[in-house]
Structure 1
Amino acid sequence: MNRIEIDRDILLFLRFAYFGNSKDLFLAATTRAYLDFNRTLRFHGMPDKQRLEMRNRASKCIKEAILNLLNRDKLCQTDFDSWHHRTCDALIDCYRSNGIRFTYGHAQKWINMTFKYLYMLEAVTLDSVFPFLHVPIDNIVLERANKQLCIPKPSQVWSSWGDYAFYLQYQEHLRQRIGKEAPLRWEFHNWLDEIEKGKPS
């Protein structure tokens, strides 16, 4: 991992510009992560107040689950994957109990991007789990994995993925093809690169 020095004032400004008021770093991370996928949700006229209450409950669920995970002494990939599956199920239950279609595609994006943002914010120490973290799946990742790692793009849109076994199998393909590098580290490098290559010259 390459480290660089940056003016603290610049760093704080950039954090504020991207995350807003980040006094509560967990809330900043979960809120920003929610914005990365919420356009794919359909609320069918549900009042804003009810939507916010539901989101807050789900955000609290993510925070509690992550803190419980980080308090565990020893972890392996299987432990993390099981935790991730349970946490996805909890988020799905939160929304479906209110009549909202919420898929594993939505849940993985919220959880995986929350981890990414917690890492960026240095909100908690993720050393014990960083090697096990999943790649946040979106169209850019699917495109990059297809071109660089020769992993076929699924026919179904990621936000519609409703089978956790299918999702986990895709993560396992990523892990196998990426090799020794931590999957989230691969995503950091390749997501930005794919965005840059997609820009018109």
Structure 2
Amino acid sequence: MSEKTCKKELYDFLMYSVFGIIDKEKDKNKKIKCARRAYRDLARTIKYKYSSSELEHAKKGSKEADFKAKRDSWIREMCIELINSIDMFEKEKKEFDIWHKELCIKFVEPTEEDEVFCRGKEFLEEGITYGQAQKWLNMTLKYLWLMDLLPEEISPRSLHVPIDSYILNALKEKPLFEGSIKASKYNGQAWSAMSEDNYKQLQSEIRAMPKEENESPIEWEGRVWIKMANKGNSNKSNSK
């Protein structure tokens, strides 16, 4: 086996093990699987009408099993709707930030016209917050960018940083950056409970922060996220 063939097989394994993506799949299916993987990044913070334990141990034919099947179908529909919205960006003729905000609001406060988003009321105990909406959308866009599946009309430099606990902790650590970071005074809310106003403030401050030469916010996020994740893992090891 040549080195080139070996690398291709390793890449294919990575794509399948992380995203469930097979190389010969249509781009549309790959994109939907990116959205599904992004959902997994926030799934633990979403409260459904049944607990995770109840759904995991649901017996065939039970109301819990029926709920789980219908909920999983809804999640897939949401992923498809999200990808359709991203693919329609060009036709929206809007600035990226305006388009981004409107799409997040569909998650949080869907109208009757947003049929798939509205169906979430059948399954959700508390609805979706702005913090959860930004994570689903931003991680989907990040995965599409990483796999070169982002629509040409969306500039990678315009992408927002997905806000999570690692990024919030990074913003609180002044030694990582030069100058005073207002985000270090963030009110301590979990990212999953974040309001639209807090989210907008954080994105604005991230864009204004010093970065490496020609580094975009989404590139900054990747570098800093790895650093904070590694630091967190090291702290856990040292505490054992």
TM range (shorter): 0.7 to 0.9
Which runs of no fewer than 5 residues in structure 2 stay unpaired?
51-63, 111-116
**Deviation readout 1:102-138 (Å, 9 max, x if unpaired):** 1011100000000111122222455742111100010
Matched, 1:143 2:159: no
**Deviation readout 1:42-62 (Å, 9 max, x if unpaired):** 112271122113212221221
Question: Alpha-carbon deviation of 1:183?
Answer: 0.7
Question: Alpha-carbon deviation of 1:197?
Answer: 2.1
Q: 1:156 aligns with which of 172, 186, 189?
A: 189
Which runs of no fewer than 5 residues in structure 1 stay unpaired?
none
Q: TM-score, normalising length from structure 2?
A: 0.72
Distance of aligned partners of 1:171 and 1:124 in 2 relative to their CA distance in 1, 3 Å threshold: closer
Q: TM-score, normalising length from structure 1?
A: 0.84
Whichever residue aligns with residue 85 of structure 1, its letter is K
Structure with greater contact order relative to length (CA < 8 Å, sep ≥ 6): 1
Question: Alpha-carbon deviation of 1:72?
Answer: 5.2
Structure 1 equivalent of residue 107 of structure 2: 91
Whichever residue aligns with residue 82 of structure 1, its letter is I
Question: Alpha-carbon deviation of 1:21?
Answer: 3.2
2:84 match: secondary structure? helix
Whichever residue aligns with residue 102 of structure 2, its letter is R
The range that moved more, 86-95 or 26-35, is 86-95
Question: Alpha-carbon deviation of 1:196?
Answer: 1.5
1:112–1:136 CA contact under 8 A, matched in 2: yes
- Matched residue count: 192
Distance of aligned partners of 1:11 and 1:156 in 2 relative to their CA distance in 1, 3 Å threshold: same
Which of the two has higher C-alpha Rg? 2
Distance of aligned partners of 1:173 and 1:31 in 2 relative to their CA distance in 1, 3 Å threshold: same
Matched, 1:171 2:203: yes
User: How far apart are the structure 2 equivalents of 1:97 and 1:136?
Assistant: 25
Matched, 1:191 2:225: yes
Structure 1 equivalent of residue 20 of structure 2: 20
User: How far apart are the structure 2 equivalents of 1:118 and 1:15?
Assistant: 12
Whichever residue aligns with residue 122 of structure 2, its letter is N
1:141–1:191 CA contact under 8 A, matched in 2: yes
